[in-house]
C-alpha cells in the first residue's frame, strides 16, 4: 500500500475517513456534500466519537458513491491514532475499495503520521500460498492519502515507514513455514539489510564448534539443518558510542521438543519459536532504515530442534562456550541452551554495556500473562524501567517478574554446574535465572519472554490473525529514547 501526503483530497479516493474525538464530533463539520446527513446518520447509529468507536456508511460525493468511515479516538492517548489508522484499513481492506483518503486538517502532524503508520501495520498479510483465494477475500486497497494535514506530517513519515518495514520483516519471518524458513534461509532473508548499511556476518556450525558452543549445537545436532549465528551490526554513531547495545534473539526455526517431544496437537505453531530472532532482525531493519544515531548489534541464534537418531537425550551433559556445564533434563527446554551461548559470545566479542534478549521461551509466561504483556526479567532496575517505559509508549507492553537466588537454587544440578529446567513452579523465572548465569558482572541485562505475544489467534488493531511483529516497535523506541541524543 502506497502512502501519500497531499494538500487536497484526491479525486479518485473511494474511501473518505475522518478521525474525531468525542469532544470535536459534536461540532464537527464534514467537508462533504451531505455533511448534515452524515452527521445525523452517525448519531442515529449511536456513534459519538468515543475512543474505539467506528462507523461506516455510503454517501454520494462528487456524483459517485463513496464509503465514509468515522473513527473515534481519545485526545492524547498513546497509540489511538495508530489504532484508528488500523481500523480504517481493516474495514475496507477486501471491500473492493482502492484509494483511502484520511482527512488530516483536524489532526496534528504526529497524529496524521501515526494514522498512516497504523494503517500500514494493519494492512500487512501473507497470501502468497493461497492459490484459490476468492476475489471477494483479496486485498484491494492500493493507496492511502492523508489530505490537508500539517506539512510536518510528511517529514515525520520516513521514520514511521522504516519501523513499519521492520515490523513487516518480523511478521514475514514468523509467518513463513519451517520448510521455508530454517537457519540458513533465515540468514538469506536478512542479507538485504546490508543495503541499508548493516554489517552482516555469519558463524556456521564449524565456527561455533571451534568456539565451544556446545549448548547451542547440542540443540541443533538432531536436525539436518545446520545451525547458524547471525550477527547484524549497525554503527550509527560514527564511533562515538564505544560499547554497543546488544539485542539477542532466540531463533528456533521449528521446535518439535526433540526427544522430549511435544504433543502433536498445536505443534504446527512451533514455526514461530524463532519470534525472538525475528524481532531482532526487524528491529535492526527499523534502526538502519531510519538511520538511528546509535551503535547496536543484533545476534540471532538459529537452530532447528528435531528428534533424529543423533539428537541429544534427556540426561546428556553439554559444555557451553562459557565453560559452564549443563545437564539437559528436558530437550524441549532448548531455547535457553541456544541463548546462553549467544549471550556469552556477544559479551566476549563486543563488550556491550546493555543486553536485551528476546525469546518465545516458556509456556509458563502465557499462563501468567496471556497474550496481553510480555514478561520482563532484569538484573538492573534502570534497564527494566527504560524497557517498561518504551513498551508502554510503543504499544508492546511488558510486565516485570522477579529474579532471586532463592529461585536460582532450583536449577542446581547434582552432577553438572546447572540443569536446564527447575521444578514444577516458576518456570519462566527459573528459565531467566538460567540465562542470568551467563551474564558477566557489570553488564546490564534484560530478558523478555515473548511467548504469548508474537502470535495472535484473532486479528488485533495493528495486525491480522497470525504474526503480530511484537518487539520491533519496543526495541526501536528503547534505542531512540535512551541512546540517541
CB 360 within 8 A of CB 273: yes
**Residue closest to 246 by CA, chosen among 150, 170, 346, 114:** 346
Q: Which of 110, 262, 400, 437 is catalytic?
A: 262
Sheet holding 444-449, edge to edge: 199-203, 228-235, 295-305, 245-255, 354-359, 444-449, 374-378, 398-400
**Residue closest to 203 by CA, chosen among 321, 312, 372, 43:** 321
Annotated catalytic residue 262: yes
Output the DSSP codes for 376-397. Answer: EEES-HHHHHHHHHHHHHHT--
Q: Which of 125, 336, 444, 473 is catalytic?
A: 336
CB 30 within 8 A of CB 39: yes
Annotated catalytic residue 138: no
Give me the count of residues in the chain.
485
- Rounded-to-integer distance, Cα 411 and Cα 380, Å: 22
Output the DSSP codes for 243-312. Answer: S-EEEEEEEEEEE--TTSPPPSTTGGGGGGTTHHHHHHHHHHHHHHHTT-SSEEEEEEEEEEE---TTS-
CB 351 within 8 A of CB 439: no
Which residues make beta-bridge pairs with 202?
230
The set of catalytic residues is 262, 336
Amino acid at each position: 500500500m502506497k502512502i501519500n501526503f497531499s494538500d487536497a483530497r484526491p479525486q479518485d479516493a473511494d474511501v473518505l475517513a475522518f478521525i474525531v474525538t468525542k469532544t470535536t464530533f459534536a461540532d464537527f463539520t464534514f467537508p462533504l456534500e451531505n455533511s448534515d446527513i452524515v452527521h445525523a446518520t452517525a448519531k442515529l447509529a449511536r456513534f459519538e466519537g468515543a475512543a474505539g468507536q467506528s462507523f461506516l456508511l455510503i454517501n454520494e460525493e462528487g456524483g459517485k458513491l463513496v464509503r465514509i468511515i468515522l473513527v473515534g479516538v481519545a485526545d492524547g492517548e498513546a497509540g489511538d491514532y495508530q489504532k484508528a489508522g488500523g481500523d480504517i484499513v481493516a474495514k475496507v481492506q477486501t471491500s473492493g475499495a482502492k484509494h483511502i483518503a484520511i482527512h488530516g486538517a483536524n489532526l496534528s502532524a504526529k497524529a496524521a503520521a501515526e494514522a498512516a503508520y497504523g494503517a500500514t501495520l494493519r494492512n500487512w498479510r501473507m497470501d502468497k500460498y493461497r492459490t484459490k483465494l476468492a476475489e471477494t477475500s483479496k486485498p484491494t486497497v492500493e493507496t492511502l492519502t492523508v489530505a490537508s494535514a500539517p506539512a510536518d506530517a510528511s517529514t515525520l513519515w520516513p521514520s514511521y515507514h522504516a519501523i513499519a518495514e521492520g515490523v513487516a520483516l518480523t511478521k514475514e519471518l514468523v509467518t513463513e513455514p519451517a520448510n521455508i524458513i530454517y537457519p540458513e534461509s533465515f540468514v538469506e532473508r536478512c542479507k538485504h539489510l546490508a543495503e541499508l548499511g548493516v554489517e552482516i556476518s555469519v558463524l556456521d556450525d564449524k565456527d561455533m564448534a571451534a568456539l565451544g558452543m556446545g549448548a547451542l549445537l547440542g540443540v541443533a545436532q538432531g536436525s539436518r539443518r545446520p545451525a547458524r549465528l547471525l550477527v547484524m551490526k549497525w554503527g550509527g554513531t560514527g564511533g562515538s558510542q564505544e560499547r554497543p547495545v546488544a539485542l539477542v534473539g532466540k531463533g528456533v526455526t521449528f521446535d518439535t521438543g526433540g526427544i522430549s517431544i511435544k504433543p502433536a496437537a498445536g505443534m504446527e505453531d512451533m514455526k514461530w519459536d524463532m519470534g525472538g530472532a525475528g524481532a531482532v532482525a526487524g528491529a535492526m531493519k527499523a534502526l538502519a532504515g531510519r538511520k538511528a544515531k546509535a551503535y547496536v548489534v543484533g545476534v540471532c541464534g538459529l537452530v532447528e530442534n528435531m528428534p533424529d537418531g543423533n539428537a541429544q537425550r534427556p540426561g546428556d551433559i553439554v559444555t557451553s562456550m562459557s565453560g559452564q556445564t549443563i545437564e539437559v533434563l528436558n530437550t524441549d527446554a532448548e531455547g535457553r541452551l541456544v541463548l546462553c551461548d549467544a549471550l556469552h559470545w556477544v559479551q566476549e566479542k563486543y563488550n556491550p554495556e546493555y543486553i536485551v534478549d528476546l525469546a518465545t521461551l516458556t509456556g509458563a509466561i502465557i499462563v501468567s500473562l496471556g497474550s496481553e504483556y510480555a514478561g520482563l526479567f532484569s538484573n538492573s532496575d534502570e534497564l527494566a524501567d527504560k524497557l517498561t517505559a518504551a513498551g508502554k509508549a510503543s504499544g508492546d507492553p511488558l510486565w516485570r517478574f522477579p529474579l532471586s537466588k532463592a529461585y536460582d537454587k532450583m536449577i542446581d544440578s547434582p552432577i553438572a554446574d546447572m540443569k536446564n529446567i527447575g521444578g514444577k513452579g516458576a518456570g519462566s523465572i527459573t528459565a531467566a535465572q538460567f540465562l542470568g548465569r551467563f551474564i558477566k558482572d557489570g553488564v546490564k541485562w534484560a530478558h523478555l519472554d515473548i511467548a504469548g505475544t508474537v502470535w495472535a489467534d484473532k486479528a488485533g488493531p495493528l495486525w491480522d490473525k497470525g504474526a503480530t511483529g511484537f518487539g520491533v516497535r519496543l526495541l526501536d523506541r528503547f534505542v531512540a529514547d535512551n541512546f540517541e541524543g
